[in-house]
Structure 1
């Protein structure tokens, strides 16, 4: 089993009871925040090494580093690490795209990350607000035409809107 499979089984699988899962995630979020504080302190730095070396650099376990790499992978500049197949000796690189990273943190609802004070030196408050709004708008479904009471219901039931989803509105 790959590192990623092991991490996902541990974090999302049925191997842990709810209390243990809560402890795992609580610890993970604390470690994740610490790693991001270090990365965001020097956002142009390219961090390279094996998974094991990065775990040692950030003073964490290989399994937690695997979860971190899984989470940050879509926020890197122009490439992704081979997280699906990596083992602890796989060379990986962390070179963040700050705007992508901020956007993805908002998408993940990770307020403890996108509200870190390090962002003040990386992106202007205006740009962060724009990225926040862009992300929130991307998940908003807008109905472009008005549905009238006698129109067919958009749910596909075949009933009139007023007799179906439009009831009690």
Structure 2
């Protein structure tokens, strides 16, 4: 029997849905993900604990999509990891973010809709956010799920546009702005 994470990855990355269904899933995911981070960032020191099912309900996100969010946030947690690969509905998980790791990882994922959230203004100074942004950009090629993201690939944000016509442009504009402010 497949784990929750295997079911999520099969659907999200190609084995379970056609292209239209997959794009719709990602659009829904990105909307719910943004709401999740808005809530978590409103009190970044808060620790959320419970089963996968309980926390999904608490955040108002269906369990199937919540597993994808847990997979995405696991490297940004404060000093611990959840049992992502073996999670089931009743698996106990804990969420407490490390704001600097989270911001860095959002930049790495080119998730401008997340690293530009206004909640960051109360968590990290603008100067620190710029430092983390530059630090990540100097770290090398951006990869998504172990796969390099090329300019002609569909953008990871789910817009349906090519990466070069969507988030790649936004990130290049942001880099120019940061360089101009140096």
SS of match in other structure, 2:84 = coil
1:48-79: CA deviation from partner (whole Å, max 9, x where unpaired): 11000011001111111100000000000111
TM-score, normalised by the number of residues in structure 1:
0.81
Give the equivalent residue in structure 2 for 1:30: 31
SS of match in other structure, 1:84 = helix
TM-score, normalised by the number of residues in structure 2:
0.76
Segments of structure 2 that go 5 or more residues without pairing to the other structure are 142-182
Give the equivalent residue in structure 2 for 1:84: 85
1:7-156 residue pairs with structure 2 within 5 A?
Answer: 7-139=8-140
Moved over 4 A (4+): none
Task: Give the superposition deviation at 1:37.
Answer: 0.2
SS of match in other structure, 1:96 = coil
Give the equivalent residue in structure 2 for 1:145: none
After superposition, the CA RMSD in angstroms is 0.8
Query: Which whole-Å CA distance do the structure 2 matches of 1:5 and 1:58 have between them?
Result: 22
Query: Which whole-Å CA distance do the structure 1 matches of 2:61 and 2:118 have between them?
Result: 23
1:10-68: CA deviation from partner (whole Å, max 9, x where unpaired): 10123211111110000000000000000000000001110000110011111111000
More helix by share: 2
Query: Which whole-Å CA distance do the structure 1 matches of 2:15 and 2:52 have between them?
Result: 25
Query: Which whole-Å CA distance do the structure 2 matches of 1:17 and 1:45 have between them?
Result: 38
Query: Which whole-Å CA distance do the structure 1 matches of 2:61 and 2:131 have between them?
Result: 34
Between the two proteins, the alignment pairs up a number of residues equal to 140
- State the structure with more CA Rg: 1
SS of match in other structure, 1:28 = helix
Segments of structure 1 that go 5 or more residues without pairing to the other structure are 141-169
Task: Give the superposition deviation at 1:99.
Answer: 0.1
SS of match in other structure, 1:92 = strand
Q: Could you tell me whether the CA contact under 8 Å between 2:104 and 2:136 is conserved in 1?
A: yes
